[in-house]
Chain A
Amino acid sequence: MDTCSLGKRVCMYEILEKKILSETVKLMKIKAPLVAKKAQPGQFIILRIDEKGERIPLTIADFDRKNGTITIIFLEVGKTTKQLGKLNVGDSLENFVGPLGMPSEVKKYGTVVCVGGGVGIAPLYPIVKALKETGNYVISILGAKTENLLLLEKEISSFSDEFYIATDDGSKGQKGFVSDVLQQVINKHKVDMVMAIGPIIMMKVVSTLTKKYNIKTLVSLNPIMIDGTGMCGGCRVSVDGKTKFACVDGPEFDGHKVDYENLMLRNRRFIHAEGDACKLAGVQ
């Protein structure tokens, strides 16, 4: 177990592996044995790069209990993720805490459709794996703007009974949105559950579609957080008219009941500050 002492940087979570998945998406394997020991699909971690850093949540993309590692995949969107993307194997993070949040409810549903969009494909991977291993018939649909932004194609297809791709520009798979493919799947199959992780707008569209067919739908939310233990309430979301904390009640919620408009708004709370921070740090 790592130990910190005040003011001294001895509390370190080493980057053991780094892969550049696309220009703005990177994968890192971080040494964090305690987190790896307990991690379950659907949970997340919070990291802080250095003493002046902010705390950001990232959903766990994979874990290896034997080697004590956690895999994170992140899109470089703000100051911290851009700075993180510049780190290399051998560098360390100041803090890495987890696993946080409730695990996915992995059980035998029957036929499940796993929909992943953009960098949301990353946290979908351990869930796909677990759902397949529990004996579900797994249909996966991955979406991205264009072919070279697609993640984990091989990994997810190897745990899927059916596998589809949708790209906005048609460079791979069907041209169009994941929801178009989902509609076709629903026409063909009796679907028992849909798991959707991706941009808020994608989760909203998927949920609107599945609601028409009354198909249970879970979405994984990634709002702004600080502590991740239920203390600050910064990550609050409105679910079925009730305020929930994504960090302790989620991050997965009933997709039919989430107030997506409010979530989008709350995720833009510090957008101006983000721009300033990036400019000053020279990571634009």
Chain B
Amino acid sequence: MSVRKTKHEMPQQRPEERIKNFKEVPYGYSKEIAIEEAKRCLQCKNRPCVSGCPVEIDIPDFIKQIAEGNIDKAVEVLKTKTNLPAVCGRVCPYESQCEGQCTLLKIGEPVAIGRLERFLADYEHNKGVKIPKIAKATGKKVAVVGAGPAGLTCAGDLAKIGYKVTVFEALHAPGGVLMYGIPEFRLPKKIVEEEVDYIKKLGVEIKYDVVVGKTIDVDELMKEYDAVFIGTGAGLPNWLNIPGENLDGVYSANEFLTRVNMMKAYQFPDFDTPVKIGKVVATFGAGNVAMDCARTSLRLGAEKSYILYRRTEAEMPARIEEIHHAKEEGVIFKLLTNPIRFYGDKDGHLTEVEFLKMQLGEPDESGRRRPVPIPGSEEKLKIDTALVAIGQSPNPLIPHTVKGLQVGKHGNIVADDDGRTSVPGLFAGGDIATGAATVILAMGAGKRAARAIDQYIKSKK
């Protein structure tokens, strides 16, 4: 039997349409297409895809169920390992994880594991989410700090095995970066809310407006709970540190995206929080966050949306799919350019950015070729808005307020693979421990920490 070499396409909004709205770009598989796609899976005995998944989903098993038309059973298999499939099925970098290990790569494209995961999650949401059996209450309590991907995963897994879990969230909404960072057109907020609702139905309680380190200290939580997990993420924006960065019109990616996504500035004035971008927007950086900024700008009405990046396309950290979507939508890539100064008018509004052309030199510590400035290559570009998307550092609120907690040189909490910190009973995972990474790696960390917390509490008996 011959296997189809390419993935089944996922229908999506046309670029010229979608840049006028904030609706999700791809529509997802129908049941029929999903079954056809699932039939491409070879059901390899050594299950290479599973080894590529940070949360260890039994991928061939759920695909087999889809191929046989047992969609409900497939959902069940999927959800034994992940609490947030609708999120993962949209924002995971499958190409470098599960799909990157797929045997079919030898003859063509891998099985569209991500699309199948999304199909199952959406199928379940449409049908009504089933709550799994929850183990007998252990009588033990765990506090989770931060309702982002790491915290929610840790909380959900602990609740399933009988712990009473309380999540403390600083903002007024759950989801962390899923809510404030990733735009509606890539991850609809309704999806995030439904996933969070599922976690709550497992018995997890979420308390909002609590800034741990300010409203309550970690020490207090340690006294009241049997263990504490910190998943406060990488909230601190990095800056270019060039003159003019405090001009009106220069935003961190975090501020821009938080205004638009969490505060819904794209619905201003129905919602109270404004954002203004003018006609020409330049985004600095080339990761997923930068693509989100550039694409959001178009949807807010920018006539031109540039990505300025100091290396070349080959070094861009963004997922290929995101770069592809950005190009389709008309984002203009100015590569090998490094900003050196912002200029403003007499009232302090941004008017221009000056940059240097670069060329690639020897590889640096990241293995990517280091960009070197070409002397005398200064150029200027007229812009109304600059979005700085060159990464985030761990949020500093907690690391320095806990006695005896070992903190790394980048301000991250030092934790082992299972989230154990230098303080017994205190666990940490996700971006606060690793520095800015992906949603799925944070979820994997939350999952392993849940296991370690269970072991820790049991060992204390």
Contact = CB atoms under 8 A, between A and B. Distances in A.
Given A54-B273, A231-B395, A243-B245, A94 B348 contact: no
B337 interface: no
Interface string A240-284: 000100001000000000010110011011101110110011000
B27 interface: no
A7 B269 contact: no
Of listed B239, B248, B251, residue having the most chain A CB within 10 A: B248
A1 B171 CA distance: 15
Nearest to A97: B209
B49 to A, nearest CB: 33
- Contact-residue bracket for chain A: 35 or more
A243 B246 contact: yes
A53 interface: yes
Interface stretch (A22-30, A107-115, A134-142, A222-230): A222-230
Interface string A1-14: 11111110001000
Contact of B170 (A227, A259, A261, A270): A227
Interface residues of B, number: 48
State the main secondary structure of chain B at its contact with A: loop
B278 to A, nearest CB: 12
Contact of A266 (B207, B210, B246, B276): B246
A265 B248 contact: yes
A14 B274 CA distance: 27
Interface in B206-242: 206-211, 214-216, 235-237, 239
Interface string B255-285: 1001100011000111111101000000000
B270 A35 contact: no
A234 B252 CA distance: 8
Interface in A9-58: 11, 34-35, 38, 48, 52-55
Given A34-B216, A38-B215, A231 B237 contact: yes
A268 B344 CA distance: 15
Contact of B258 (A226, A237, A262, A281): A226
B193 interface: yes
B348 A265 contact: yes
A68 B333 CA distance: 54
A11 B173 CA distance: 11
Contacts of A233: 237, 239, 251-252, 254-255
Given A4-B206, A98-B211, A229-B235, 5 more contacts: A6-B197, A230-B396, A248-B397, A262-B348, A276-B269
Interface of A: 1-7, 11, 34-35, 38, 48, 52-55, 79-80, 94-100, 226-234, 236-238, 243, 248, 259, 261-262, 265-266, 268-270, 272-274, 276-277, 280-281
